[in-house]
Amino acid sequence: MSSHCDTISWDRTKFVKDLAEYMPIDRFGKCGNMTDKCKRRSSECGWLQRDYMFILAFENSCCEEYISEKFWKVLSTGVSIPVVIGAKKEDYKRLGPPNSFIHVDDFNSMQELASYLQRVANNSVMYNSFFKWKKFGTVSQTEFRDRRIVYNKSACLLMDFLKNGVLEKKETFNLYGSSWLGGCKGCSSKAWIAKYGYTPGKHLPLTEGWPYVIEEIDPTT
């Protein structure tokens, strides 16, 4: 389900189209082959995640710890297995429920990935093993508008300033550090996945390790 077809880090749309050569994939949204069904923000799309054994939760960029709502929404529904590309497998293992996903980086070719998905789909024991975590907990998430308020430190500082007239000393921040832009690399060290990454001059201009060209700025400002 995607309408963001022209991603800046890697050709996610082409990857899904190529995977569809090995197994049937229903693709909703502007990037798909079922554009007349399940319009964006439609209230009639609740059946989607109930009817599919797998959902491709592919991020638009591959950055450390960048695991967006694509992954968590699949888990919160609890009836499909998310197949992921984005952060490293170690990040998914550390942040997500155990054995709750399939990371594409584990496979040596697209055909091997497709064959594994088909094998899991045809083996109820293998398939159900991806849901054992549900015996021990649940996954839930807040709406984005709630997260912006609850987790935004700037909002808290602003409220303190309006109340007390005192603004805390600002913290330094390295835009190119490992916890931000420096953590954005290629989507995989596997050549068959890495080939879907954009190269300088072929798409949008790239800087090393990050898909944007960003003006050099003082990270303390």
Range with top average pLDDT, 62-71, 176-185, 195-204, 210-219 = 62-71
Residue 218's pLDDT is 41
Among 65, 83, 66, which residue's Cα sits nearest to residue 74?
83
Residue 169's pLDDT is 66
Residue 48's pLDDT is 64
pLDDT digits (tens, 9 = 90+) for 60-80: 889 888 898 889 989 988 889
Q: What is each CA distance from 116 to 24, 108, 202, in whole angstroms?
A: 14, 11, 32
* Amino acid, res. 167: L
Confidence class for position 165, pLDDT limits 50, 70, 90: confident
Q: Kindly report the pTM of this predicted structure.
A: 0.76
Paired strand residues for 10: 197
Q: How far apart are CA 153 and CA 145, in angstroms?
A: 15
For the chain, domains (ranges, CATH) are 1-144+184-220 (3.40.50.11660)
Kindly tell me the sign of the dihedral angle through the C-alpha atoms of 91, 8, 17, 108: negative
